[in-house]
Amino acid sequence: MNEYQYFFNPPPPAPPPLPQDVEMIDPKNPFHNETEFRNYNSDYGEIVPQIRIPTCKIPLRPNHKESRRIRRYYNIAGGFMLGHFIFSWLLTFILVQVFYLILGAVDSYANGGTLPENYSQIAQNYMNDSSLGIGLNLFCYGLANVLVAVLGCKATKVPIPNLFKTENLTAGKMFSYVCITFFLHLLSENVIVKVMALFDNAGIDVNTADMDMSKDAKYLILSFVYGVIVAPITEELLMRGFFLKTTSRVSQRFGIFITAIFFGLLHQNLPQFILAFIAGSFWGYIVVKHNSIVPSIICHMAANGIVELSGIFDIYGIDLGTTLVNIVYVTLALIGLVLLIRMLIVERLPYAMPEQSERGTRLALTSPLMVIAGVVYISSSVYYVLVQNM
């Protein structure tokens, strides 16, 4: 720049130096929470854009604009879970009706144009007892899980590949997580027995769990594929991938527990809610710890796999196989108890700072789509219980 250009276009004045005691807020740890895993956090600048201004301060309670942006993420999480419920229900209903029409037409043709008066019940029993029922379940819920997870991550700008980039996960740690999962599964089974006994004493049947296993080979194969491969991958992508990442924008602790609650509600029956909540809380913790859903997928596969394998041996009356599976299961569960005690001594779930508490449950309960989604899932579970007891 020559002297004439400098005279007519002087450079802007340099900003005044910052005071020595001014600290920049870390956008990935805006609440200075040392118990959280920083790499898992999203950029809080998406909620408070001025966070990179040196003089920016985050107050104890959020202002109107910050509250609105936080509720946006809670509403996205709740809205997509509501969409999951509607889509999976509609898709299942439509495909079941199509199946009934095709089956009715084939049977009507084979019987000279007539069908028994109770044909609808016969068709329903056929679907429940054959591989068609589990195949339909696999397709509808697997598709709904993946579709909602992908669209939800797109809405919140979370790259799907980032959900699988694992940090600091070793084979030894993964073994310990599987053992702890088995212990939590065993603990859940005992809790379920006691809770079910209370309802049984009151004359209420709350066991609306999935269909009973069949000896049909196709059914068992599809059940194993769904339970051990499809469900763990797609459910973890949906819950510990999209939902946990979205609800942890403010607090990892809040995200872990609200995800575990919705994971339980997703199964729409009380016994599985208990199991899913207890295991899901632990899986949420290891996801934020390792910044990846890979460890939760492996634990989910292991938990479902031991149940499926035991069920297959039991169906075919292979007592030796059932005994060996139970021995392995209980042994690993006991190892898991020791490892869990050690983990509770050495590690802790992330806790919420006062500022995070003000931005967690209170704002979630005033986020309409989050509340509606919870009410819909709870109402559906209660409906199934009422139908079961009619």
For residue 217, what are the contacts with CB-CB under 8 A and spacing of at least 6? Answer: none
Q: How far apart are CA 164 and CA 287, in angstroms?
A: 10
Q: Which of 119, 350, 374 is nearest to 248 (CA)?
A: 350
Which DSSP state fits 238? I
Tell me whether residue 311 is in a domain. Answer: yes
Q: How far apart are CA 274 and CA 142, in angstroms?
A: 22
Tell me whether residue 2 is in a domain. Answer: no
Q: List the domain range (segments joined by +) for residue 320.
A: 21-388
Q: How far apart are CA 99 and CA 114, in angstroms?
A: 18
Tell me whether residue 5 is in a domain. Answer: no
| CA distance from start to end of the chain | 88
pTM of the model: 0.90
Tell me whether residue 14 is in a domain. Answer: no
Tell me whether residue 16 is in a domain. Answer: no
CB-CB contact of 352 with 247 (8 Å): no
Q: Which of 174, 169, 170 is nearest to 332 (CA)?
A: 174
Tell me whether residue 68 is in a domain. Answer: yes
The label of the residue with tokens 């073994």 reads: 175
Residue 387 CB-half CA count within 13 A:
8
Tell me whether residue 64 is in a domain. Answer: yes
Which pLDDT does position 20 carry in this prediction?
A: 55
pLDDT in tens, the chain (390 residues): 555 555 555 666 665 555 555 578 999 999 999 999 999 999 999 999 999 998 889 999 999 999 999 999 999 999 999 999 999 999 999 998 898 888 888 888 777 777 887 887 887 777 777 778 888 888 999 999 999 999 999 999 999 999 999 999 999 999 999 999 999 999 999 999 999 999 888 888 877 655 555 567 788 888 899 999 999 999 999 999 999 999 999 999 999 999 999 999 999 889 999 999 999 999 999 999 999 999 999 999 999 999 999 989 988 888 999 999 999 999 999 999 999 999 999 998 999 999 999 999 999 999 999 999 999 999 998 888 888 777
Which DSSP state fits 130? S
Tell me whether residue 237 is in a domain. Answer: yes
Count of the separate structural domains present in the chain: 1
